Amino acid sequence: MAYWLMKSEPSEISIDDLASFPDQTVGWFGVRNYQARNFMRDQMQPGDGVLFYHSSCAEPGVAGLAEVVGAPYPDPTQFEKGEKYFDEKATPEVPRWFQVDVRLVKKTRLLALSEIRSNPDLQEMRILAKGNRLSITPVSSFEWRTIQKLINP
């Protein structure tokens, strides 16, 4: 089992949106960074844990827990001409972008980025690395357990 931090802008999909979806599941669409894509395509497995992270908002942070519930598959938004995530170089025969389905485990209190930054046990998290802009980053089992303790006192 692996663990991941997956960022979503609440204006696109929030933890509350996820809670309202059928089966509380969503395809993690729209990733257009090769390293983040490779994490989904090559490393994520059903059962992997996910820190659902709100980004690009007034108070960024971990808003809930989720899990990967399916194998990676081509992101259909890459084929939708005229849409935000369209990629003219992608074809159904040779897709460039992939996604996984993620299901809500539970909404938690918001573990703010400032709280993550101030915790000495979390200083090595990739989200805190200078210049990190990835929307998906691996989380160590130690970091996962530490965050679990912080959100479930």
Average pLDDT of the chain is: 96
What is the count of structural domains for the chain? Answer: 1
CB atoms within 10 A of CB 89: 7
In SS3 terms, 102-119 reads as EEEEEEEEEEEHHHHHHC
- Strands 3-8 and 49-54, by their bridges, are parallel
* pTM score: 0.95
| Domain containing residue 33 | 3-151
What share of the chain in percent tops pLDDT 70? 99
pLDDT at 52: 98
62: left (phi over 0), alpha (psi -120 to 50) or beta: beta
Q: Residue 66 is part of a domain; what is its CATH number?
A: 3.10.590.10
Binning pLDDT at 50, 70 and 90, where does residue 131 land?
confident
What is the helix (H) or strand (E) element at residue 26, kind and residue range? Answer: strand 25-27
Q: Which of helix, strand or coil describes residue 79? A: helix
Binning pLDDT at 50, 70 and 90, where does residue 66 land?
very high
